């Protein structure tokens, strides 16, 4: 049976609805206000799994529940009748050039086409299935912030691909119009499954280089820098991988060792994929996360804060756009700004831990380190002569 997709929405908790969750038809989801659209991993098979992902969004935003707020909504999806092997193969197929061993469904999953047709196509077409005013389409997509984890990033990548194709081949948008419209949708992706530069949504990716679910040419090369030093907390700390991104459209922030390890064996178990302990959302978003490998370092705590800040500022930007008659475009390069996000997020007490002004300094240092590492890894490219010079001047 082919995998399907269903959705729910966060609501107020009541005695009759203690979980703060309501199922909703895909076609009934209304994007007339800023929306955090959550897509989790390929084990998200039930309502409670999708609701758990929505709770992560609440936590990262600094809220508990939606507190009766009317300024945004949180939607989350789950997979029905899912074939785990099929889901895994689809994600793998995304990155492989030879797709001959994958089925047609694995290459172009129907459930993502359904998600696009029933949920997102109405943002760029009218009831007659014709293109709409460019500015209105941009305003519509500015209401969307995806929060993805692992397979959720794959879903959004394919969703972006289907949207681009449909806009060009069926709706008659030009390439320039497609780029200007799709840029307004923002993705915050934890453990992204493909190179951010390939897609036209605005995207900020966060990954650990020793999370074996993360696929990156750079991650493999960077391994040589620290493979002999298993027990160090963090050799390079957080770095930005500019090489895999498009300036003004996407960013990719990487951390080398997300956890402290107690032994060489612990580290190897993670590297070889013998444990799933590293690859879970708690590890990336809980500032005090702890498992059998030890406790996160201060660098990892800053990484959690950066993820939280990125989501806050993306949603804040959407709220500004929603309250303006003119388009307020998203600014990916300004995602780590130090001032508080401008939309209300609950009490000051709730917001406090997520609004650490040190995060901008961490991001700036990451940028400098990333430039320096790029220059060392790719000395033959002319652009890295500039990067190398800029890094030396910044240190």
- Count other Cβ atoms within 10 Å, centred on residue 296: 25
Q: Is the dihedral of CA 206, 186, 203, 28 positive or negative?
A: positive
Could you tell me the residue ranges of all domains in the chain?
4-394
Helices (H), the chain: 47-61, 84-93, 104-107, 110-115, 134-141, 151-169, 175-182, 217-226, 264-271, 281-285, 298-322, 348-351, 358-377, 383-394
Residues 6+ apart with CB under 8 A from 216: 195, 207, 209, 241, 244, 254
- 297, 234 contact by CB (below 8 A): yes
Per-residue pLDDT of the chain (395 residues; tens, 9 = 90+): 689 999 999 888 889 898 889 999 999 999 999 999 999 999 999 999 999 999 999 888 876 554 445 678 999 999 999 888 889 899 888 888 889 999 999 999 999 999 999 999 999 999 898 999 999 999 999 999 999 999 999 999 999 999 999 999 999 999 999 999 999 999 999 999 888 888 899 999 999 887 878 877 666 665 544 443 444 444 457 888 888 888 889 999 988 778 877 777 777 777 677 777 788 999 999 888 887 777 887 788 888 888 988 898 898 889 889 989 999 999 888 777 666 666 666 556 655 555 556 677 777 777 777 777 777 777 765 444 444 444 444 43
Q: Enumerate residues 6+ apart whose C-beta is below 8 A from 290.
A: 296
Q: Please check whether residue 279 is in contact with residue 42, taking contact to mean a CB–CB distance below 8 angstroms.
A: no
Strand 73-80 vs strand 35-39: parallel, antiparallel, or unpaired? parallel
Provide the whole-model pTM.
0.89
- In the three-class reduction of DSSP (H, G, I as helix; E, B as strand; rest coil), residue 204 is classed as strand
């Amino acid at each position: 049976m082919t995998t399907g997709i269903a959705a729910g929405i966060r609501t107020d908790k009541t005695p009759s609805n203690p979980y703060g969750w309501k199922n909703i038809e895909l076609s009934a989801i209304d994007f007339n206000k800023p929306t955090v659209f959550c897509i989790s991993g390929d084990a998200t098979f039930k309502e409670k799994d999708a609701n758990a992902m929505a709770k992560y969004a609440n936590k990262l935003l600094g809220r508990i529940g939606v507190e009766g707020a009317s300024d945004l909504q949180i939607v989350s999806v789950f997979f029905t009748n899912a074939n785990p092997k099929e889901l895994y193969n689809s994600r793998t197929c995304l990155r492989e050039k030879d797709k001959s061993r994958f089925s047609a469904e694995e290459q172009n999953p129907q459930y993502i086409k359904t998600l696009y047709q029933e949920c997102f196509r109405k943002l760029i077409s009218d009831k007659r299935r014709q293109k709409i005013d460019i500015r209105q389409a941009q305003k519509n997509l500015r209401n969307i912030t995806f929060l993805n984890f692992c397979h959720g990033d794959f879903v959004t990548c394919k969703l972006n691909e289907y949207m681009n194709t449909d806009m060009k081949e069926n709706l008659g948008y030009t390439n320039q119009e497609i780029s200007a419209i799709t840029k307004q949708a923002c993705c915050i992706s934890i453990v992204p499954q493909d190179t951010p530069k390939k897609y036209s949504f605005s995207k900020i990716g966060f990954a650990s280089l020793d999370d074996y679910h993360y696929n990156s040419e750079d991650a493999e090369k960077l391994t040589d820098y620290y493979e002999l030093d298993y027990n160090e907390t963090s050799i390079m700390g957080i770095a930005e991988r500019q090489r895999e991104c498009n300036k003004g459209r996407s960013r990719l922030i990487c951390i080398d060792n997300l956890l402290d390890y107690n032994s060489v064996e612990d580290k190897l178990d993670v590297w070889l994929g013998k444990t799933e302990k590293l690859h879970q959302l708690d590890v990336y978003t809980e500032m005090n996360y702890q498992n059998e490998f030890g406790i996160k370092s201060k660098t990892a705590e800053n990484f959690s804060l950066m993820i939280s800040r990125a989501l806050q500022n993306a949603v804040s930007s959407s709220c500004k756009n929603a309250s303006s008659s003119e388009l307020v475009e998203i600014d990916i390069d300004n995602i780590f700004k130090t001032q508080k996000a401008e939309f209300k997020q609950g009490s000051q007490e709730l917001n406090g831990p997520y609004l650490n002004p040190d995060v901008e300094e961490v991001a700036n240092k990451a940028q400098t380190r990333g430039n320096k590492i790029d220059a060392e890894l790719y000395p033959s490219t002319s652009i890295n002569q500039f990067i190398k010079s800029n890094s030396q001047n910044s240190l």
